[in-house]
Every structure is written in structure tokens, then in C-alpha cells.
């Protein structure tokens, strides 16, 4: 990419990350012990583009226009011989899996001449390995570069002038260099210049949102830290994917086509995130980021360590012998008339204890972001937890209704997987009663056509994580005659839903108003469990951990005020648990059995 300076809106006060660069180690298969043996992942197999997907500007995802990316003679080649003109058709070849902590090695050489219609001399012998790239599905058709950190690959111009390689460029991002926010678009490394068509080995050591270190032919040439959204040199992007100031801790890897032919003979990756528990059978000594859920143990062995923010999946989230199996139905597709133009998916969990021949009204649990709530590999696994707890008598027979946010489309996109539909903010972060009406007037009746549901608000619970949590509270706030029990994990009681007054339209408040509303309104019959972590988000919308503490403080104040005044009637029933995690479902998932037990029992 070309070099250009951009002003930064604000310098964030960010804590220094403790990871340090390491001297690169050549991949080897002669490790002395399994724990020390490096398990390199071969991203390019030398035969085909299996595992890779092209995204070329002005073309749809998956369209390998002009056979730009091809495999010939064991090399991954980038070519433009079928282009009439390059014409701004910048391309990126994405690998299928995202990574956070890793060592990436690419061996490359520049060949031939630039494509006709190229963007200019800056793109001569210029390519890159894009780090922390977004999911390519989020890139609009005409977006030129992914919002990412680029490990820029350059070749010399054979003119005797220095032109280093393995530089850093920042399309839509910024980094911290030598303790200061770096405002220029590119930062040169200290590497030598490589003229001609010689092979070069570039290596990138990435520690999540901490340090990133570049090596060339085994020598360290550049180090910086704290990759984050910000800056410019990116266009035609989806603004919701660029939250300036937010650190970037993971993403996809992509290889660039920028108008000059280039060959890659090796693209390999060593994952540095994994099981760091020495008691586990898959422990690796070189891991720097623990992933406890990846650990496997021999029979009788126990985990030996835990780090902040790490919470194991609950035993109740796993299938258990002797437990009657419930049934997860769906996904079903539903088009709302109340939230016009939206389509969503939902699942229904029916416990084995629900008697369909002689049905009795079952309790109801509605949970937002249903695609994640039911993910069998996720931290929540809500249907499995319900199955175990109901069988053990720790919660009543309950029908689970797990609903995704709406998407503005004719049909629900089949490729969203765990990602958010495009109408989530408008539904979840709004303080009005629209979503409550959707549940009460449309969704509950839809499920009640098949199953007998309670009409007792004390036997209906609603929950969610993040914006799904504030959505759940909003429903109970507006309609405690329908829902009185709330599960709130990492709740977004912040200003996400705020809009200023514009063109005669009134200001729309955000969720940070709730503590004020709780303090200044009569107490409502709500029982709520709040969970959050001390390292949760802090950005332009607010500080999540402080916001959740403000919610608890407001509930306590409202109860104390009523007690002091001798006011008869209900009080807020509140339980909360703070952890040491970030904006993650892991802690809430670990607590889920306790949460569900408490939410249904009047202890």
C-alpha cells in the first residue's frame, strides 16, 4: 500500500501489553518431546487453493476473477494476464480460519511486470500478508482493502535505493509504536532491500491485541503493539465493522493481489493459543495464550492452572448419562409484522419431562441471540444445561425459546453462522416496547400453537448476553405483567442506542439511562441476575463494567428508598456476580447452572 499520513481523532490511554517478541524458530519435525514439538499448520498445500477464498474488489466473494490466484508447479501464483486493465481490482485471498496468537511464515518472490492500468509506482513489486483481517463475508462488493494490519511485502527497484520489506501498513487501523499512537499509514522495517526475483522469507509473530513482530530471513526488523481500528486508507466498507479505538485481538489472514505478479512457495502457521495446562495431554510448551476449553486430560488428571478471564464449560453444559433427552427443534424462520421487513430464526427446546399427551402449562425461558445460545460448541449451550437441571429437579419444566435478532431481507441469510443479523442494534438496544410487543403478540402465540405455555409472569424468564441482555431487561421493564425474571450477562447498559436530535427529530436515549429510570420510577416486580467482568469493554458507548455496577447501585438505592419511606409492596430481587473476564460469554456460561437455579427459586 502507498504511504500517507492521517490525523487521529483521539489518543487512547491504553495499558501496555506484556507479550514480548521471540527469536523465530525454523519449523522442525525433530522435537525432543511432544510438548516441545511445534505443530505447524500448512495453509498452502502446494496443490490447490483448498481452504482459501478470494475477495476481489468489484467482484463477489468467491469470484476468482481472471484466475488471479492460481496454483502452478507447486507455487501459489498471483497473476493478471487475463486482465484488460487492473482498474482498482485489488484482491485478497482469505484463509478459512481466524487466529489470534500465532507465527505466520510466508516465502515469496516478485516476478514479471505490473499489470496494465496499475495504480502507479507505489504498487510496483508490492504485495502483503494481511493480519487480523475481518470475515470476508462482511466486506461489501467494492471494498478495496480489508480493515486489517498489513505485513507489507516489497521488492527493490534495482536502482540502488533502499526499499525494505516486511513493513507495517494500516488500512482502517492504527498501532502503537515506541509508546505512541502511530499516525502514518505505513511504518518501514529495518530489513535490507531485495532486488530481482530472489526468494524472501517473511515471518510475523502476532500476540493478539498485544505485540506484533516482523522478521525477514530470521532477523527481527520491526516491532509494534496494540493494533486497533482507526485511521483511513480504506473505502466502501461497512461502518459497523470499524469501531475506531477498539483493539483488534484476532482475525483472518489474507494474501494480497495489488497489480504486481508474486509467487508464494510456503504459507505456514504455528498457532500459539492452546492448552497451557501441563497436566493435559495436549499441552504445548510454546503456547502463549491459554485456551482451557481445548485441554484434554487423561483419566483421573485434573487441571493445574487458570488465568484471568478463563472459565471452564460447566459440567451441566455437557451430555450426561442417565439424563432423559430433551428435543431442540428448529431453526424455524419467522417474519414479523410488528418489526416490519425483518426475518429471523428461532429454536424451541422441549424437555423430556413435558408431557405432550397430557400437557400442563410449562414455564417459559426466552433467550436472545438464539444462534449462540444453542451453539453446541459455545460457552452457553443453554438447551443442554436446561436438560440436565430439569432432570435433576433444579429448575421447573420449562420450554426454551431461543431467537435470533431480525435481518432486513426476504429470507434469513444462510451464511451468518454465529454472526449478528443486521437489525440487532435497532431491536436490542432500543428502549421502546417494540421488541416486547413482538414477543408478546407474535412469538409467544406462535410457539403456543404447538406447546402449552404458562400465562403467569412469575413463571416466565427472559435473558441474553451483551445487547441481548439489555433487550431482555427492556422487555421486563415495559411488560412485567408478562416477564418478571431476567438473566443479564455482560449487559450493554451503555449508549449504543443513543441518537442525537437531528432535523427536528427528538433525541433517542441509550441504555445508559436505565440507572436513572430505576432510581426515579416506582419499583417494578423484577428478579434479575447480573454478570459481568472487570475487563469488559470500554469505548465510545461507555464502560460496560461500570454500567453494570451502576445498575446494581440503582436497584439497591430504589429498594433502600422504599424501605426508608415505609412503602409497601414489591422490591427488586437482585443477585450479581463479577468476574475477571472481558466481553465474553465464558463466565456467564460457567455460571449458567447457578443462574438458572436462582432465577427459578425464591430463596
3-state secondary structure 419-462: CCCCCHHHHHCCCCCHHHHHHHHHHHHHHHCCCCECCCHHHEEE
Contact 476, 570 (CB under 8 A): no
Q: What are the two backbone dihedrals, phi and then psi, of residue 220, each rounded to the nearest 5 degrees?
A: -70, 130
C-alpha–C-alpha distance, residues 377 and 143, integer Å: 32
pTM of the model: 0.54
Q: Is the pLDDT of residue 5 over 70?
A: no
Instruction: Give the whole-number percent of the chain exceeding pLDDT 70.
Output: 93
CA 59 to chain centre: 26
Q: How many residues does the chain have?
A: 603
Interaxial angle between packed helices 382-391 and 586-600, expressed in degrees from 0 to 180 and rounded to the nearest 10: 40
Instruction: Map residue 100 onto helix, strand or coil.
Output: coil
Exposure string over 92-107, b if 16+ CB within 10 A, otherwise e: bbbbeeebbbbbbbbb
Instruction: Map residue 390 onto helix, strand or coil.
Output: helix
Report which of 95, 60, 61, 66 is spatially closest to residue 79, judged by C-alpha positions. 66
Per-residue pLDDT tens digits for 199-212: 999 999 999 988 99
Contact 130, 256 (CB under 8 A): yes
Average the pLDDT over 521-529 and give the result.
97
Q: 357: burial class by Cβ within 10 Å (0-12, 13-18, 19+)? A: exposed
In which band, very low, low, confident or very high, does the pLDDT at 321 lie, cut at 50, 70 and 90?
confident
Per-residue pLDDT tens digits for 159-190: 999 999 999 999 999 999 988 889 899 999 99
Q: What domains sit in the chain, N to C, each tagged with a CATH number? A: 40-271 (2.60.120.560), 315-600 (3.40.50.1820)
C-alpha–C-alpha distance, residues 22 and 220, integer Å: 9
Which residue, chain included where needed, has cell 530471513? 217
Q: Is the pLDDT of residue 245 over 90?
A: no
Cis ω before 331 (30° cut-off from 0): yes
Per-residue pLDDT tens digits for 121-140: 999 999 999 999 999 999 99
86-95, 176-185, 517-526: least confident range: 176-185
C-alpha–C-alpha distance, residues 538 and 535, integer Å: 9
List of residues 6+ apart from 602 with CB closer than 8 A: none
3-state secondary structure 59-96: CCCCCCHHHCEEEECCEEEECCCCCCCCCCCCEEEEEC
Copy the grid coordinates of residue 56. Answer: 476481489
Rounded to 10 degrees, the C-alpha dihedral 54/140/405/572 comes to 110
C-alpha–C-alpha distance, residues 418 and 371, integer Å: 6
Which residue, chain included where needed, has cell 441518537? 499
In which band, very low, low, confident or very high, does the pLDDT at 6 lie, cut at 50, 70 and 90?
very low
Instruction: Map residue 578 onto helix, strand or coil.
Output: strand
C-alpha–C-alpha distance, residues 69 and 92, integer Å: 9
List of residues 6+ apart from 163 with CB closer than 8 A: 125, 154, 155, 156, 157, 193
More confident residue, 108 or 305: 108
Contact 129, 153 (CB under 8 A): yes
Copy the grid coordinates of residue 508. Answer: 433517542
Report which of 554, 553, 437, 431 is spatially closest to residue 496, judged by C-alpha positions. 431
Average pLDDT taken over every residue of the chain: 91
pLDDT at 305: 63
H or E element, residue 40:
strand 40-42
pLDDT at 1: 40
Measured CA to CA in angstroms, residue 385 lies from 191, 316, 398, 538 at distances of 54, 5, 12, 31
Average the pLDDT over 19-29 and give the result.
34
Average the pLDDT over 107-120 and give the result.
96
C-alpha–C-alpha distance, residues 184 and 191, integer Å: 19
Average the pLDDT over 399-421 and give the result.
95
Per-residue pLDDT tens digits for 251-302: 999 999 999 999 999 999 999 999 888 888 899 999 988 888 888 888 776 6
Contact 515, 473 (CB under 8 A): no
C-alpha–C-alpha distance, residues 118 and 115, integer Å: 6
More confident residue, 311 or 390: 390
C-alpha–C-alpha distance, residues 510 and 496, integer Å: 6
Exposure string over 471-496, b if 16+ CB within 10 A, otherwise e: bbbbbbbbbbebbbbbbbbbbbbbbb
Q: Is the pLDDT of residue 3 over 50?
A: no
In which band, very low, low, confident or very high, does the pLDDT at 7 lie, cut at 50, 70 and 90?
very low
Instruction: Give the whole-number percent of the chain exceeding pLDDT 90.
Output: 81
Q: What are the two backbone dihedrals, phi and then psi, of residue 241, each rounded to the nearest 5 degrees?
A: -95, 0
Q: Is the pLDDT of residue 45 over 80?
A: yes
Q: What are the two backbone dihedrals, phi and then psi, of residue 514, each rounded to the nearest 5 degrees?
A: -60, -45
Rounded to 10 degrees, the C-alpha dihedral 143/228/49/45 comes to 160
pLDDT at 11: 31
pLDDT at 261: 97
pLDDT at 466: 97
Average the pLDDT over 192-221 and give the result.
95
Q: 192: burial class by Cβ within 10 Å (0-12, 13-18, 19+)? A: middle
C-alpha–C-alpha distance, residues 352 and 119, integer Å: 64
C-alpha–C-alpha distance, residues 353 and 540, integer Å: 47
Per-residue pLDDT tens digits for 259-271: 999 999 999 999 9
Where does residue 426 fall: left (phi above 0), alpha (psi -120 to 50 degrees), or beta otherwise? alpha
Q: Is the pLDDT of residue 587 over 60?
A: yes
51-55, 150-154, 239-243: least confident range: 239-243
Amino acid at each position: 500500500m502507498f504511504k500517507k499520513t492521517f490525523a487521529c481523532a483521539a489518543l487512547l490511554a491504553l495499558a501496555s501489553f506484556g507479550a514480548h517478541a521471540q527469536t523465530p524458530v525454523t519449523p522442525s519435525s525433530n522435537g525432543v518431546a511432544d510438548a516441545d514439538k511445534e505443530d505447524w499448520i500448512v495453509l498452502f498445500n502446494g496443490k490447490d487453493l483448498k481452504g482459501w477464498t478470494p475477495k476481489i474488489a468489484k467482484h463477489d466473494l468467491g469470484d476468482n476473477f481472471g484466475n488471479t490466484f492460481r496454483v502452478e508447479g507447486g507455487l501459489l501464483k498471483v497473476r493478471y494476464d487475463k486482465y484488460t486493465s487492473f482498474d482498482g481490482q485489488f484482491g485478497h485471498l482469505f484463509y478459512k480460519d481466524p487466529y489470534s496468537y500465532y507465527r505466520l511464515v510466508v516465502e515469496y518472490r516478485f516476478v514479471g511486470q505490473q499489470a496494465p492500468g496499475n495504480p502507479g509506482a507505489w504498487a510496483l513489486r508490492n504485495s502483503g500478508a494481511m493480519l487480523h483481517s475481518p470475515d470476508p463475508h462482511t466486506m461489501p462488493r467494492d471494498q478495496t482493502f480489508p480493515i486489517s494490519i498489513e505485513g507489507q511485502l516489497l521488492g527493490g527497484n534495482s536502482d540502488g535505493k533502499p526499499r525494505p520489506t516486511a513493513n507495517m501498513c494500516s488500512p482502517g487501523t492504527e498501532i502503537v509504536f515506541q509508546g505512541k499512537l502511530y499516525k502514518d499509514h505505513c511504518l518501514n522495517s529495518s530489513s535490507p532491500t531485495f532486488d530481482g526475483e530472489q526468494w524472501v522469507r517473511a515471518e510475523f509473530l502476532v500476540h493478539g491485541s498485544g505485540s506484533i513482530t516482523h522478521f525477514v530471513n530470521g532477523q527481527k526488523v520491526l516491532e509494534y503493539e496494540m493494533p486497533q481500528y482507526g485511521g483511513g486508507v480504506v473505502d466502501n466498507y461497512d461502518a459497523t465493522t470499524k469501531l475506531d479505538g477498539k483493539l483488534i485481538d484476532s482475525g483472518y489472514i489474507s494474501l494480497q493481489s495489488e497489480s504486481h505478479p508474486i509467487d508464494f512457495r510456503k504459507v505456514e502457521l504455528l498457532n500459539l493459543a492452546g492448552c497451557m495446562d501441563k497436566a493435559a495431554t495436549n499441552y504445548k510448551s510454546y503456547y502463549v495464550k491459554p485456551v482451557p476449553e481445548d485441554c484434554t486430560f487423561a483419566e483421573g488428571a485434573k487441571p493445574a492452572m487458570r488465568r484471568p478471564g478463563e472459565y471452564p464449560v460447566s459440567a451441566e453444559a455437557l451430555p450426561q448419562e442417565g439424563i432423559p433427552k430433551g428435543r431442540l427443534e428448529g431453526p424455524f424462520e419467522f417474519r414479523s409484522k410488528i418489526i416490519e421487513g425483518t426475518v429471523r430464526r428461532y429454536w424451541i427446546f422441549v424437555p423430556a419431562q413435558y408431557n405432550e399427551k397430557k400437557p400442563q402449562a410449562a414455564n417459559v425461558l426466552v433467550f436472545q441471540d438464539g444462534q449462540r445460545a444453542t451453539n453446541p460448541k459455545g460457552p452457553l449451550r443453554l438447551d443442554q444445561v436446561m436438560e440436565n437441571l430439569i432432570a435433576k429437579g433444579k429448575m421447573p419444566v420449562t420450554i426454551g425459546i431461543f431467537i435470533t435478532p431480525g435481518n432486513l431481507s426476504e429470507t434469513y441469510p444462510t451464511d451468518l453462522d454465529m454472526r449478528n443479523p443486521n437489525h440487532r442494534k435497532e431491536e436490542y438496544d432500543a428502549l421502546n416496547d417494540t421488541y416486547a410487543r413482538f414477543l408478546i403478540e407474535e412469538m409467544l402465540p406462535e410457539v403456543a400453537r404447538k406447546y402449552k405455555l404458562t400465562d403467569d409472569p412469575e413463571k416466565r424468564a427472559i435473558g441474553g448476553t451483551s445487547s441481548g441482555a439489555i433487550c431482555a431487561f427492556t422487555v421486563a421493564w415495559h411488560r412485567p405483567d408478562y416477564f418478571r425474571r431476567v438473566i443479564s450477562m455482560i449487559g450493554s447498559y451503555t449508549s449504543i442506542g443513543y441518537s442525537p436530535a437531528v432535523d427536528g427529530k427528538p433525541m433517542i436515549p441509550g441504555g445508559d439511562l436505565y440507572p436513572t429510570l430505576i432510581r426515579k420510577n416506582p419499583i417494578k416486580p423484577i428478579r434479575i441476575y447480573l454478570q459481568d467482568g472487570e475487563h469488559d469493554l470500554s469505548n465510545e458507548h461507555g464502560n460496560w463494567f461500570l454500567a453494570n455496577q451502576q445498575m446494581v447501585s440503582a436497584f439497591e438505592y430504589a429498594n433502600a428508598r422504599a424501605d426508608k419511606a415505609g412503602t409497601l409492596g414489591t422490591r427488586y430481587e437482585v443477585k450479581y456476580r463479577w468476574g475477571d473476564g472481558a466481553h465474553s460469554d465464558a463466565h456467564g456460561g460457567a455460571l449458567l447452572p447457578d443462574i438458572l437455579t436462582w432465577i427459578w427459586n425464591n430463596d
